[in-house]
Structure 1
């Protein structure tokens, strides 16, 4: 834990309890930080103030950008559509390979200086014709109360919400959190306890429990991402064990993205992931019965496209984030053989393409100040 106070909006937190020794335990994630007065959890944004746990970044963002939904990555959720993406600061994991560390490892509140209330976010999404709002760049689990408030406002306006998360969340907290989400991409960072312990200071089993919960207890559309790091989680045995587990516990229809690592944060000496490694991982996953397996962070038109698992027609072609082929009918079935493609599809693909559009929220502070 760390000590200190910030200048961001502070709201009461949920999911905590008092301990017999006078400390308070935060129960939002399995880290279960135990806090004395004035201390912050490892995530930095949840703190003990006035004998309760508070969230210190409600209504504050590190910035907004409109991305293609495929960048989350989500390949089976409203393909081609624009998504308003934002994050705050902090994280409840300590991944040495973090590729958003300027945000997730931020320890200064000026990293989240942009005022961003739920109604301001909804208004901006509507102005730009966004199909969804994505909580990304850092893990929304740690700003649960803020994410839920934004999700409620989005749902009331007919806008979807997407959580890009590591799935490291407590049992009670995840019920509320995912109840308000329409889609998620969950980082399954590796498939050994040793990997999670060494590189993330976390536990694999807690993430697997979240994935089983999502599949069995919710209607959230979710996809998985595995960042493949040379020398750490790139062995064939690990790919085999992971994809067999996915097949057995989640089924064949959950899309899996194998993404290439690039040197970053505390792993600058680790080389980039060879494209051949991603191809090998994809082959193993397909052999084990998964139907929708992709590669990311490399240019591979064939391995980034979606195919009918019955007749093998290319249903959705992808060149980076540009869509080409579209052979789904209005019900999301293959136009060649009628087999359903798992996912959430509109009658026609979106046309956003690969554009990345930074935006500023336009609502006035006086109007926005009444949104809590």
Structure 2
């Protein structure tokens, strides 16, 4: 464990954590909602520092990131803990449980492991919520940057402004979950808040490449009015922010039926009225998985599973010359 950043001591012996908007008031011997930041002797410690639960080489498209080094592989790493309580959590075994087997690694060992992976572009901090692994991720990101590796965060975006500002200069890309577009969902389904997530998206898209994922759950966040509001808000920031609308399947504490495929396609059609790039996920959809020119609809990036073929010319549509949002090797 390591002493945590971003906390203050109270006169009554409790600690207020300032890493995320929960601002947990933590008594001696207890942890915050994330279960990995603990008050020990009047100091706050990161209990998951250097604890790795998962390691894998993944296609960048699996994150999902469709406009960031398409067709590349990235070394993906996760720990334990999360500052949300999503009833539909897909990685609940590591996000909602912390007393599980993990491997102890140093930041130097992790960076060396990433460098040894063939055709690896960098490190994706993913699987559980990386912001509750803040101290270790920050240390790794600094070392990775020095070694020319890309840093990618796959996050729920629920982090306070100051720690976000500290880590953002080290981050090359983020996929941020906007789990719904109304506060009641965040309160009832994830024990969080929407507004801080929106603020993270707004700040991050100014500093690095950002894509958004929303899991569409039947009867809960699947109205076309909500999809429209989400797409309009993203478009007000940048019309070319990619949005991934993914199909829900029963998991963890939520057992309602999977989202109908047609509902996801309808949601994409709705969002496409406002955004340049909208994708469908967790389903087979030839159209919804490809990238098309926002001006002339020419097929620009063709995806068959994780097989990717990029058909741009100098990041422009070969048919009409429209610039395409694409970060790839030629831009290193």
TM-score by length of 2: 0.96
Shift of 1:120: 1.8
Structure 1 residue 85 and structure 2 residue 76: aligned?
Answer: yes
Structure 1 residue 261 and structure 2 residue 248: aligned?
Answer: yes
Deviant stretches of 4+, over 6 Å? none
Shift of 1:63: 1.9
Q: Identify unmatched segments of 5+ residues in structure 2.
A: none
In structure 2, distance between residues paired with 1:232 and 1:95: 13
In structure 2, distance between residues paired with 1:343 and 1:97: 32
Shift of 1:213: 1.2
The residue aligned with 1:119 is 108
Corresponding residue to 1:12 among 3, 25, 32: 3
Q: Identify unmatched segments of 5+ residues in structure 1.
A: 1-9, 349-372
Shift of 1:336: 2.5
The residue aligned with 1:319 is 304
Counterpart of 1:152 in 2: which secondary structure? Answer: helix
Shift of 1:85: 0.7
Counterpart of 1:158 in 2: which secondary structure? Answer: coil
Shift of 1:58: 1.4
Does the aligned pair in 2 maintain the 1:134–1:162 contact within 8 Å? yes
The residue aligned with 1:367 is none
Shift of 1:320: 1.9
Does the aligned pair in 2 maintain the 1:141–1:177 contact within 8 Å? no
Aligned runs of 1:133-212 on 2, under 5 Å?
133-212=123-202
Structure 1 residue 103 and structure 2 residue 91: aligned?
Answer: no
In structure 2, distance between residues paired with 1:97 and 1:174: 26
* Length, aligned pairs only: 330
Structure 1 residue 245 and structure 2 residue 233: aligned?
Answer: yes
Shift of 1:251: 1.4
RMSD (Å) for aligned C-alpha atoms: 1.4
Counterpart of 2:151 in 1: which secondary structure? Answer: strand
Does the aligned pair in 2 maintain the 1:300–1:319 contact within 8 Å? no
Aligned runs of 1:350-365 on 2, under 5 Å?
none
Shift of 1:265: 0.2
The residue aligned with 1:328 is 312
Structure 1 residue 303 and structure 2 residue 303: aligned?
Answer: no
TM-score by length of 1: 0.86
Does the aligned pair in 1 maintain the 2:53–2:103 contact within 8 Å? yes
Structure 1 residue 284 and structure 2 residue 270: aligned?
Answer: yes
Shift of 1:68: 0.2
Shift of 1:335: 2.4
Deviation digits for residues 127-159 of structure 1, max 9, x if unmatched? 222102101111111011100111111111111
